[in-house]
Amino acid sequence: MKIVVLEGSPNKNGSSDMLADSFIRGAKEAGHSVQVVDAAHADIHPCIGCIRCGYEGPCVQKDDMETIRRTILDADMMVFVTPLYYYGMSAQLKTLIDRFCAFNSSIQRKRIKSALLTVAWNSDSWTFDALEAHYKTLVRYLDLKDQGMVLGRGCGTPYMTKHSGYPEKAYELGLSL
């Protein structure tokens, strides 16, 4: 299976990257190929709502999104990776997802598998409610096949994350595919 990991953290080597690395290790051990898209450091402009794409592309903006689009449409699975920022995904990952507008129906037709990997400093039971709802809405709208979520509560620093059970859960999710 071809997996594309959409990393949305601007902090290289941070807690969410740690989960992504663990997931990738497990997925590769299970025999899958993995490609990483670093949404936080790619040249991705926000959707301007012009609809010149006709909802099936190409987008009029000339940035990295056309390459990312091909990568996503070539994949069998998308993994959304983000730190929790004010109870939602990072702006960098959201900007990438907003650009799905230019190829929603292509994603829907593929019935791509998906997963969510996320971390937060907060460890309250409701910490991820809004992000979970957003992810589940994406799964429903894009007709994705959810493979699971790793919700890293109390992972405010890489040290905290490393000493939690969440990297192992991410690894196990990747391995289980």
Q: Where are the domains of the chain?
A: 2-175
Strand partners of residue 119: 83, 152
Tell me what pLDDT residue 155 has. 94
User: How many whole angstroms separate alpha carbon 12 and alpha carbon 16?
Assistant: 9
Number of H helices, E strands in the chain: 7, 5
CA–CA gap between residue 104 and residue 115 (Å, rounded): 18
Per-residue pLDDT averaged across 14-25, rounded? Answer: 97
Please calculate the CA angle 65-67-68 and round it to the nearest 5 degrees: 60
Mean pLDDT of the chain: 95
pTM as predicted: 0.96
Compute and round to an integer the Cα radius of gyration of the chain: 15
Would you state the pLDDT for residue 175? 98
CATH fold of 2-175 reads Rossmann fold (3.40.50)
Residue pair 166/119 in contact (Cβ under 8 Å)? The answer is: yes
What mean pLDDT is predicted for residues 122-149?
A: 97
Poorest-pLDDT segment among 12-16, 30-34, 132-136: 12-16
Alpha helices in 30-165 (DSSP H): 65-74, 91-98, 104-110, 129-142, 158-162
Alpha helices in 30-128 (DSSP H): 65-74, 91-98, 104-110
* Token pair in block for residue 146: 């959810």
